[in-house]
């Protein structure tokens, strides 16, 4: 995401032009702060010229709009000319409203520029995919296979060390390690002929982290949780405090989750915990809202309240205030209860409020996954 300052736009575009395909959206409107075209022209060394045919098309649309609104076309004229002005050599891909999409072929890079509003972008993106220059870039990319190994538990440095001990990357296999909220994602880009090498790397990492590798087919943990529940015939409920519904949001972000996920409660106050989840008031007085005992009681209460076979709960101190020496900011307790028994977790998560909440959500989902005994699916 880039702001409207010319120096920010040109810097981002200069970086983007180092790719085979650079896709840009937004900044194509009629006002002074719509600067995508002029910034792209400056970075690519192209002049900006008015496209006559495009100007006529935008003018026709604008005249109709002016008539509907009871305004003079003169109010639109300057903007029409601005939006019809493109870098020399640009190919118009289409129009959505008054904003055009266009393509510019440069040395080593194809640039696709789309309107910012999502519905307009979606309408015009298929036309970019049909252009021969974009098709050629995609065809080149398809020659490289892409695999993603997802781990939960090991550190980024531990995974990098294991990768190096397995021989590391070479000309046939490019490996990238990225930490994402306690998960470690390893991307393998495999050149033709490098499949054997990629399999050897994957097997070495599987051997080094047999319990931490949870997915090799790019599915997210919430998808694996829902699938594991389906396999057991379990329904799932959530009870959350510090995460404020983020666990439920991750689950319902998966299409078809409704056959497993039955509902959740955000029981933020102690009164809500008692009323909505049947957490005993004496338990809260004895142990506090942020405790293993309360997490367990919340999971039990959610199971009963929603009639679910399995429930997961999260309670913690997200900060920035509210922490003590005994219970610091970032302290989180989690619990899962099902017919298989109970699993609990206690962790202190470093970072600001958003990071604590996001990471606690990830931990909750993985706690459910491990409770159900799934290490993820490995394709044939």
User: pLDDT value at position 371?
Assistant: 96
Q: How far apart are CA 213 and CA 166, in angstroms?
A: 16
Three-point CA angle 170, 171, 175, nearest 5°: 50
Percent of the chain with pLDDT over 90: 89
Nearest to 174 by CA among 195, 163, 155, 189: 189
First to last CA, the chain: 38
Adjacency order of strands within the sheet including 213-215: 173-180, 183-190, 145-152, 213-215
Assess if CATH 3.40.50.10320 describes domain 143-215.
Answer: no
Preceding omega of 40 cis (within 30 degrees of 0): no
3-state secondary structure the chain: CCCCCHHHHHHHHHHHCCCCEEEEECCCCCCCCCCHHHHHHHHHCCCEEECHHHHHHHHHHHHHHHHHHCCCCHHHHHHHHHHCEEECCCEEEEEECCEEEEEEEECCEEEEEECCCHHHHHHHHHHHHCCHHHHHHHHHHHCCEEEEEEEECCCHHHHHHHHHHCCCCCCCEEEEEEEECCEEEEEEEECCCCHHHHHHHHHHHHHHCCCCEEECCCCCHHHHHHHHHHHHCCCEEEEECCCCCHHHHHHHCCCCHHHCEEEEEECCCHHHHHHHHCCCHHHHHHHCCCCHHHHHHHHHHHHHHHCCCEEEEEEECCCCCCCCCCCCCCEEEEEEEECCEEEEEEEECCCCHHHHHHHHHHHHHHHHHHHCCCCCCCCC
User: pLDDT value at position 140?
Assistant: 82
300-351 tens-digit pLDDT: 999 999 999 999 999 999 999 999 999 999 999 999 999 999 999 999 999 9
Q: How far apart are CA 256 and CA 134, in angstroms?
A: 33
Across residues 154-166, what is the average pLDDT?
93
User: pLDDT value at position 230?
Assistant: 97
Cβ within 8 Å of residue 314, ≥6 positions away: 238, 239, 240, 241, 242, 243, 247, 295, 332, 333, 334, 360, 361, 364
Q: Which of 139-148, 193-202, 360-369 shows the highest mean pLDDT?
A: 360-369
pTM listed for this prediction: 0.73
CA atoms within 13 A on the CB side of 351: 13
224-235 tens-digit pLDDT: 999 999 999 999
Average pLDDT of the chain? 94
Least confident of 73-77, 123-127, 302-306: 73-77
Backbone phi and psi for residue 217, each to the nearest 5 degrees, phi listed first = -130, 25
Domains of the chain, by residue range, sit at 6-140, 143-215, 221-371
In which residue are the tokens 């470093």 written?
Answer: 350
Record the tokens describing residue 236, joined without a space.
Answer: 């799932």
Q: Between β-strands 213-215 and 145-152, what pairing exists: parallel, antiparallel or unpaired?
A: antiparallel
- The CATH architecture one would assign to domain 6-140 is 3-Layer(aba) Sandwich (3.40)
User: pLDDT value at position 374?
Assistant: 61
Cβ within 8 Å of residue 265, ≥6 positions away: 237, 238, 239, 240, 272, 276, 277, 302, 305
pLDDT-based confidence at residue 144 (cuts at 50, 70, 90): confident
CATH of domain 221-371: 3.90.950.20
Q: At what angle do helices 156-165 and 195-208 cross, to 10 degrees?
A: 130
Across residues 283-309, what is the average pLDDT?
98
């Amino acid at each position: 995401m880039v702001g409207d300052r010319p120096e920010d736009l040109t810097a981002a575009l200069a970086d983007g032009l180092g790719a085979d395909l650079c896709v840009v959206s937004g900044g194509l409107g009629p006002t002074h702060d719509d600067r995508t075209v002029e910034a792209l022209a400056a970075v690519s060394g192209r002049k900006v010229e008015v496209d006559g045919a495009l100007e006529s098309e935008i003018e026709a649309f604008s005249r109709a709009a002016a008539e509907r609104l009871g305004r003079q076309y003169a109010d639109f004229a300057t903007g029409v000319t601005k939006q019809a002005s493109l870098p020399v050599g640009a190919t118009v891909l289409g129009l959505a409203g008054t904003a055009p999409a266009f393509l510019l072929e440069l040395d080593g890079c194809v640039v696709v520029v789309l309107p910012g509003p999502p519905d307009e972008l979606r309408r015009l993106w298929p036309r970019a995919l049909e252009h021969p220059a974009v098709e050629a870039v995609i065809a080149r990319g398809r020659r490289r296979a892409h695999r993603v190994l997802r781990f939960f538990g090991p550190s980024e440095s531990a995974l990098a060390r294991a990768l190096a001990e397995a021989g590391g990357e070479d000309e046939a296999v490019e490996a990238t390690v990225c930490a994402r909220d306690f998960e470690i994602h390893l991307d393998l880009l495999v050149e033709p002929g490098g499949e054997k090498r990629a399999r050897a790397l994957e097997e070495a990492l599987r051997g080094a982290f047999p319990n931490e590798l949870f997915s090799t087919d790019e599915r997210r943990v919430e998808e694996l949780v829902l699938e594991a529940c389906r396999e057991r015939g379990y329904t799932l409920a959530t009870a959350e405090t510090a995460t404020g519904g983020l666990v439920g949001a991750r689950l319902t972000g998966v299409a078809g989750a409704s056959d497993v996920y039955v509902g959740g409660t955000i029981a933020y106050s102690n009164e809500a915990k008692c009323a909505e989840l049947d957490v005993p008031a004496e338990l809260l007085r004895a142990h506090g809202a942020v405790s293993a005992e309360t997490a367990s009681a919340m999971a039990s209460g959610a199971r009963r309240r929603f009639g679910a076979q399995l429930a997961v709960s999260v309670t913690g101190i997200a900060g920035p205030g509210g922490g003590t020496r005994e219970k610091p900011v970032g302290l989180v307790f989690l619990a899962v209860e099902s017919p298989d028994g109970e699993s609990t977790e206690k962790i202190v998560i470093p970072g600001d409020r958003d990071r604590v909440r996001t990471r606690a959500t990830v931990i909750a989902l993985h706690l459910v996954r491990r409770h159900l005994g799934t290490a993820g699916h490995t394709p044939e």
